[in-house]
A = this chain, B = another copy of it.
């Protein structure tokens, strides 16, 4: 069923010009990139949002694959793929139908299942923070996954305006899936949609909430040490978890977020603690960028994740 995803437009039309792979049933990949543009809206004026432009904007902002693959990357201390034969594909964007918002989620889950079932590491690009919900559902398995969540916000709302799978709910939804165990939430700060009840729920569940201020006091290495060893892990990154001076293209810029050096340490540290099954990068609103910085940081973030998994021997 090829129709789950569609080819992106623009130039480059795929992330770093990696090969396009729309036939998910025939997928042969170590790493798969998947655009999931649409969350579930809370209000009519969110039916289409700026974040839905991010998958293609990020692809178009990406530099060419020869450069990135063959040149020396000092974030990785070597070329992206470290001379290994690693198969990376871009699976395009999940499709949808007009008038049935949930169908996009169903297709996203189906696409993610195909990719994950084939053994590939999945890199999902949102879209808002609702889109990890179908991805996390596709991660269904008989072992417990540790969820690592970078965000300014807690995202434990049960529902808003009757919608239970919108961008304020992904961590609560994960907490309800049997295959998620420990939850670590990093960079939390400022105000979001959470009220005291949600905070109580998160704490009752056992979520390890590390505010930006605690992070400042203890350092990222200590944060890494608090994440249970072994894995497997899933990493969900809300762009507003990163500091708005370096990722300004978000809807809710909040002071005090992760620096790039902190982010770099987290990604490499986590990938080396155990298998990270996939990651997503969500809530980039391209129209609000300043000097293209958000896009540059986003590409670096994804390349660091790819390069770290390669070096950790995921595909050997």
Which chain A residues have a beta carbon within 8 Å of chain B's beta carbons? 9-11, 13, 37-38, 41-49, 52, 60, 67-68, 70-75, 77-79, 96-99, 101, 104, 152, 154, 161, 163, 188-196, 198-199, 211-213, 216, 244-246, 248, 253-256, 259-261, 264-265, 287-288, 290-293, 296-297, 300, 303
Contacts and interface: CB of A to CB of B under 8 A. Distances in A.
Contact of A191 (B38, B42, B72): B72
A195 B188 CA distance: 39
9 contacts: A9-B11, A11-B60, A72-B196, A74-B192, A75-B190, A213-B261, A245-B293, A255-B297, A256-B260
Identical chains bound together, number: 6
The 4 closest A-B pairs by CB, nearest first: A11-B11, A47-B47, A255-B260, A256-B260
A297 B9 CA distance: 24
Contacts of A78: 196
Contacts of A68: 191
Nearest to A162: B98
A8 B265 CA distance: 40
A78 to B, nearest CB: 7
Contacts of A13: 11
Contacts of A296: 244, 253-255
Given A11-B11, A75-B189, 20 more contacts: A10-B11, A41-B98, A44-B104, A45-B48, A47-B48, A48-B48, A72-B191, A72-B196, A73-B190, A73-B191, A74-B154, A74-B188, A74-B190, A74-B192, A213-B261, A244-B296, A245-B245, A245-B246, A256-B259, A256-B260
A253 B291 contact: yes
Chain A at the B interface: SS class? loop
Nearest to A242: B255
Contacts of A190: 73-75, 300
Contacts of A152: 74
Contacts of A67: 191
